Structures are given as C-alpha cells and as structure tokens.
Copies of this chain bind each other. A is one copy, B any other.
Amino acid sequence: MKRTIAGMAFSLACLMNLSEAQTINHDKVEMENGKNTGMCVKLPMQPDGIVRLSKIEVHAEYLEEYVKYAIEVGEISLRTEPGVLTMYAVAEKDNACRITILETYASQKAYKSHIASAHFQKYKQETLHMVKALVLSDQTPLNPSNSITNIIK
C-alpha cells in the first residue's frame, strides 16, 4: 500500500513536470533488474540536451546544511523529473567544501522545467548564502557510445 501511494505520488509529480508535447507514459516507473527504482521513466537525450559539471564551493560553516539541501534536490529531481537524466554529486576527499555535480538534462526544455520547479527554487533560495563560488561548465562526452545511467535506490 505504501509503495502504491508512493508510486501515485511519483506519477503525479512526473505529470506536473510534463509539457503537452511529451507523450511518454509516466504511470510507469524505471525498472532495474526487474525492480522498481521509484523513479519516473526518463526521456531520451535530445540533440539540444545538456551534459554539465557544476562546480560549487561551499562556505565551510554551512557545509553540513548545504549537503542536506543538495541531497534533497537531487533525489526529488531524479525521482520526479523525466528530463533530469543524471544528478550525481561528489565532494573532494581533500576538501569536502568543493563539490562537483554531473548534471544531464534531456533537452533545453527539460532544463528550463527543472530550474522553474518548486524543489529547485527552494534549494536555490535556501542555499544562496552558503555558496562561495559556482561554475556551470557545459561538456561534450568524448565517446558517443559511452553512456551513464543514474539511479536512486
């Protein structure tokens, strides 16, 4: 029952992030090895998709709090947004204030939908004063045959 309600909530959240032009069935959730991952079915990467390394430096006194917000926005985005294909965040072992996020969006439209979402706006506003530096560095994959799938367990 709990899973069914969670599934309905994801489906609803997915539908809220869908434009009228996107016709994938979001009643479905991603499967991995036959198991429900609790994530929306993802849109395919489009020619105007984005592969990005976001490099963030956090003021040390806010690090713990910042990480909570970053984990929250990453989880909600991956679970509910069909066009958010990866959001994989890592922190340097030698300086945990230096965070890099591999962000992949299926299209410009998917990216615009993401930054307009309530969960992203909450993260952005609540963490503004915690961020010392931010570089958004768009990237081109070296090998088109090499692909990454990002799952939240």
Contact = CB atoms under 8 A, between A and B. Distances in A.
A140 B91 contact: yes
Count the copies. 2
Contact of A151 (B88, B138, B149): B149
Interface in A67-93: 67, 70-71, 74-75, 78, 86-93
Query: Which range contains the number of A residues in contact with the other chain?
Result: 35 or more
Interface string A26-64: 000000000000000000000000010100000000000
Interface stretch (A95-103, A109-117, A120-128): A95-103
Contacts of A141: 88-90
A44 to B, nearest CB: 13
A128 B93 CA distance: 26
A153 B125 CA distance: 40
19 contacts: A51-B90, A71-B146, A74-B143, A75-B143, A75-B146, A86-B148, A88-B148, A89-B143, A90-B139, A90-B142, A91-B140, A91-B142, A92-B137, A145-B152, A146-B150, A146-B153, A147-B152, A148-B148, A148-B150
Interface of A: 51, 53, 67, 70-71, 74-75, 78, 86-94, 96, 99-100, 102, 137-143, 145-153
